[in-house]
């Protein structure tokens, strides 16, 4: 019973590098989302998806891209990492957008 | 625009005290959903409760209770007889018509033995 799986758990990047944070869920959930958590800022929505092929921007989308080609996967791409993107990233899913979300364990990302 | 305000950044109580965590929200949607999540020191996020905008009944679950008041746009969370295991960061969240989840900045609760 995996739930929401995020990989990697930790990553260190250099400024300007690109990478993809992976998120997969095995609950056949339609709604998936990405958040970043910074001290004193709570969780801020980056991008979300209400189903395969549909994505939309959240509060802080700049510098991040997403796609949703399957129901199960919702990768988050950093095209050119910046130190301001140092954060803990959480992926979440729910059956619908008004349902409680199931969160992954998070990815701690440091950009030097 | 939607907004969730948790004005209490950190609260410290002694074990067995009651404590209330405040949540005030703003939305223009008539249908919306409110949530509370808990983040213990281990870091995972745990769902506690959901309320929809048409259900103002208060909820009690063991030592936890929630008071939803549309008139004041508040959805407050009370822990009765707090325990050390309640120490965590608690987040209030709002999901409206667009299903954009908006979280508050969280309240860190420290329960001292």
Tell me the mean pLDDT in the region B54-61.
85
Do A48 and B104 make contact, defined as CB atoms within 8 angstroms?
A: no
Q: Checking phi first, is residue A3 left (phi over 0); if not, alpha (psi -120 to 50) or beta?
A: left
Q: What is the rounded CA–CA span in Å between residue B39 and residue B20?
A: 17
pLDDT score, position A2: 76
Q: b/e per residue, A42-74, with b = 16+ CB within 10 A?
A: bbbbbbbbbebeebeebbbbeebebebeebbeb
Quick one: tokens of A20? 């993809």
What share of chain A has pLDDT > 70, as a percent? Answer: 99
B7, B105 in Cβ contact below 8 A? no
Do A43 and B103 make contact, defined as CB atoms within 8 angstroms?
A: yes
| pLDDT value at A1 more than 70 | no
Do B99 and A98 make contact, defined as CB atoms within 8 angstroms?
A: yes
Tell me the mean pLDDT in the region A76-105.
95
Beta-carbon pairs below 8 A across chains A and B: 57
What pLDDT, in 10s, does the model give residues B23-48? 999 999 999 999 999 999 999 999 99
Contact residues on chain B for A39, CB-CB shorter than 8 A: none
What pLDDT, in 10s, does the model give residues B69-102? 999 999 999 999 999 999 999 999 999 988 889 9
A81, A16 in Cβ contact below 8 A? yes
Nearest to B99 among A40, A42, A97 (CB): A97
């Amino acid at each position: 019973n995996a739930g929401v799986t995020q990989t990697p758990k930790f990553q260190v990047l250099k400024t300007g590098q690109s990478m993809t944070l992976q998120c997969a869920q095995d609950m056949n959930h339609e709604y998936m989302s990405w958040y970043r958590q910074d001290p004193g800022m709570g969780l801020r929505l980056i991008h979300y998806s209400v189903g395969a092929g549909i994505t939309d921007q959240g509060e802080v989308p700049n510098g991040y891209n997403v796609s949703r080609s399957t129901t199960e996967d919702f990768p988050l791409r950093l095209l050119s990492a910046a130190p301001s993107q140092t954060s803990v990233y959480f992926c979440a899913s729910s059956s619908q957008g008004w349902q409680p979300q199931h969160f992954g364990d998070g990815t701690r990302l440091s950009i030097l | 625009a939607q907004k969730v305000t948790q004005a209490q950044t950190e609260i410290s109580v002694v074990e067995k005290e009651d404590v209330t965590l405040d949540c005030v929200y703003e939305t223009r949607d008539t249908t919306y959903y409110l949530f509370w999540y808990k983040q213990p020191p281990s870091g995972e996020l745990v769902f506690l409760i959901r309320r929809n905008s048409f259900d103002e009944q208060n909820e009690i679950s063991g030592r936890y209770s929630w008071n939803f008041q549309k008139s004041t746009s508040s959805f407050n969370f009370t822990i009765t007889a707090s325990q050390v295991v309640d120490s965590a960061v608690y987040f209030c969240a709002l999901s409206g018509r667009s299903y954009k989840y908006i979280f508050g900045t969280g309240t860190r609760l420290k329960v001292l033995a």
